[in-house]
A and B are shown apart, each in its own frame.
Chain A
Amino acid sequence: MVGLKDISDTYRSHLARVEKSDAGDAFRWLHPLREAAFARFCELGFPSVRDEEWRFTNTAPIANTAFAPAPSGEGVDADQVAPFTLREPGAHRIVFVNGRFVPALSAAGSLPGGVILGGLCDAAREHRLIVEAHLGQYATIENHAFSALNTAMLEDGAFVYVPKGTVVDAPIHLLFLSVADAAPWVAHPRNLIVTETSSQATIVETYAALDGGVQFTNAVTEIVAGENTVIDHYRVGCESTEAFHVGALHLHLRRSSTLTSHSIIFGGALVRNDIHANLAEEDCECTLNGLYMIEGTQHVDNHLVIDHAKPHCRSWEYFKGILDGKSRGVFSGRINVHENAQKTDAKQTNMSLLLSDHAQVQSKPQLEIFADDVKCTHGATIGQLDDEAVFYLRSRGIKREDARSLLTFAFAGENLNKIRVASLRAQLEQHVRIKLSP
């Protein structure tokens, strides 16, 4: 067991390196927040299962691994990137290797006037006013050790800015690739997506591994949906089955905005997906869809908090898990309806399909309602494939294994069908099919 002091010392050395780096220079104005975040991380330490919010997810494997800062990952070429790109006409792509922006592998394409797409480190210099106005405003360091650590170690990530009244037609693809090194490494990508009034954009965040190996990606994404915006967001996790991934997504919805975020997770030994949506103004609509499909000893924890702060907002959560082998899934969904958030309409659904007798799921809905005129429902089901349905398919000539695959695909399909980027949906469907083929 590694003590808190050793952990602090390790990451203090990482911090010293960051401060001296180019990012340390670009984010000099961030220095006080870095210090505060690091101090908070040292106080909190990595969470233990005694912490209610981490009861079913043991972070000891992360705490007990001596991670080195992510190596530069130089030498990745376009051919290696190609399989992970979005085959969507006109897609705007920026690529990160081991957490750092690599312009040479990126293809931002032709963007509408005023749209900014690039690395956050560059943006800290070139668009400091926008970055400073939003960075760290939504991702809190107070109660989340990983977000505090990310803020302290902040070096690079994606920056997307969509100005007022602008529609970005083709999806914006933020592709994060990891390359193995001899030693386990950690990266802390930090993404900031800001959309102004009446704009529209589709953003796909992909985390994928070029090879195996132990890596720890501790990502934080902050998204501001401006007034009357329509934002479609996807987060796809296809890392190696040895990788650790802690991702925190902070959504800030302004008046009459419509934001949909899909989380799709296939990879990772230990994955924690934190989503916090703040429906901060009236008439917002937030949809959170999720699908994960795991096997072996993989562990995926989806942890959702939706704050209904103002009246007339809607939120829909639809999360599904497919678990095989000895895998473990956790779903925690909290909906906070604040005192004056009248006419809130919220619905949460969590469905889990266990394909083996040894897989386990914990599902924990929590509704905290302080307003009296609201509609708030939740439902959770955990089950196995329906024997009746399997028999029905078999009685028509379909083999047992094929019948099981077909029914499992149908379970996933209901969620995949909600993906509006056609090429992404096709790629993910293919991924599910490959996983289901014997």
Chain B
Amino acid sequence: MLEIRNLHVAVDGNEILKGVDLKVGAGEVHSLMGPNGSGKSTLAQVLAGRETYEVTDGEVLFNGKDLLDLSPDERACEGVFMAFQYPVEIPGVTTNYFLRAALNAIRKYRGEDELDAFDFIEFVKEKARVVAIDNSLLQRAVNDGFSGGEKKRNEIFQMAVLEPKLAILDETDSGLDIDALKIVAEGVNKLRAPDRAIILITHYQRLLNYIVPDAVHVLVDGRIAKSGGKELALELETDGYTKIAGQRAAVETEKV
């Protein structure tokens, strides 16, 4: 479903991603871990289409299409969804209005009929129930005055409504209490399907107690330093990132 080949990305001339290779197949859940500053969020932003990042080399294929050639809205319409690490507050736009505009934009792109206000509200209330979100949230302005936890849950709610093919969760688990974390995990688990892929970007192993990944990758200094099964996450929890970072540095030195 997603194939990243030798991806190099720079911001203001500083290279952040230095050749990332990653393959995520349909139906799979991959966890991308790594220390602060390793480039995890940069990868998520690049996949979502943030224009401030410059792709200097490499390619990204999404269901065979060149993802980097698409605008952020086209990517969303193709089925890419990123849950933001820091969701944006949009005063004056209700969540209901925003989500209907988004869903209908995607449906229109796919040649499907747009949902009217009545059909939409039925659809969205069911989704709200699934992620344990109060219906009153629909009438509130998007993320406006929300707590950190509410914002993260709202991201999962949006994901449930938009039903993406590829969901990238950028540290959605950070800062959540255990109840909120379980709700987020449940939302993700419900989305798991043979035709969907999920990338969980996380700093901590805790989320993986509730979502069992098919693969775990460790990003260090702009490259994937190690890949493995779900046990790799536990290993990291015990040993920290320094060990892997050390191994990597050793490899680098040998190359030189």
Chain A interface (Cβ within 8 Å of chain B)? 386, 388-389, 391-400, 402-403, 406-407, 409-411, 413-414
B92 touches A397 (CB 8 A): no
A413 touches B92 (CB 8 A): yes
Distance in angstroms from A224 CB to nearest chain B CB is: 35
A389, A393, A395: the one contacting B82 at CB < 8 Å is A395
A388, A395, A399, A410: the one contacting B93 at CB < 8 Å is A410
Which residues does chain B contribute within 8 Å of A399, judged by CB atoms?
73, 105
Q: Which of B55-94 contact A (CB under 8 A)?
A: 71-73, 75-77, 81-82, 84, 87-93
Q: A414 and B92 in contact (CB under 8 A), knowing A393-B98, A396-B158?
A: yes
Tell me the complex Cα distance, A399–B92, Å.
Answer: 19
**Interface of chain A: mostly helix, strand, loop or mixed:** helix
Distance in angstroms from A415 CB to nearest chain B CB is: 10
Which residues does chain B contribute within 8 Å of A386, judged by CB atoms?
88
B77, B88, B91: the one contacting A397 at CB < 8 Å is B77
B73 touches A406 (CB 8 A): no
Chain B interface (Cβ within 8 Å of chain A)? 48-51, 71-73, 75-77, 81-82, 84, 87-93, 98-99, 101-103, 105-106, 109, 141, 158, 162
B90 touches A392 (CB 8 A): yes
Q: A397 and B102 in contact (CB under 8 A), knowing A391-B50, A392-B84?
A: yes
Distance in angstroms from B83 CB to nearest chain A CB is: 10
A394 touches B92 (CB 8 A): no
Which residues does chain A contribute within 8 Å of B81, judged by CB atoms?
395-396
Distance in angstroms from B145 CB to nearest chain A CB is: 14
Distance in angstroms from B80 CB to nearest chain A CB is: 8
Tell me the complex Cα distance, A3–B77, Å.
Answer: 63
Interchain Cβ contacts under 8 Å between A and B, 9 examples? A389-B88, A391-B88, A394-B49, A395-B76, A396-B102, A396-B158, A397-B106, A397-B109, A409-B92
A394 touches B76 (CB 8 A): yes
Tell me the complex Cα distance, A410–B142, Å.
Answer: 11
Tell me the complex Cα distance, A395–B73, Å.
Answer: 5
Tell me the complex Cα distance, A386–B91, Å.
Answer: 11
Distance in angstroms from A97 CB to nearest chain B CB is: 37
A396 touches B98 (CB 8 A): yes
Q: For B158, give the chain A residue with the smallest CB separation.
A: A396
Closest 3 CB pairs of A and B: A410-B92, A397-B76, A396-B102
A395 touches B101 (CB 8 A): no
A407 touches B90 (CB 8 A): yes
B102 touches A398 (CB 8 A): yes
B101 touches A394 (CB 8 A): no
Q: For A411, give the chain B residue with the smallest CB separation.
A: B92
A392, A398, A400, A413: the one contacting B87 at CB < 8 Å is A392
Distance in angstroms from B253 CB to nearest chain A CB is: 40
A391, A407, A409, A410: the one contacting B72 at CB < 8 Å is A391
B71 touches A397 (CB 8 A): no
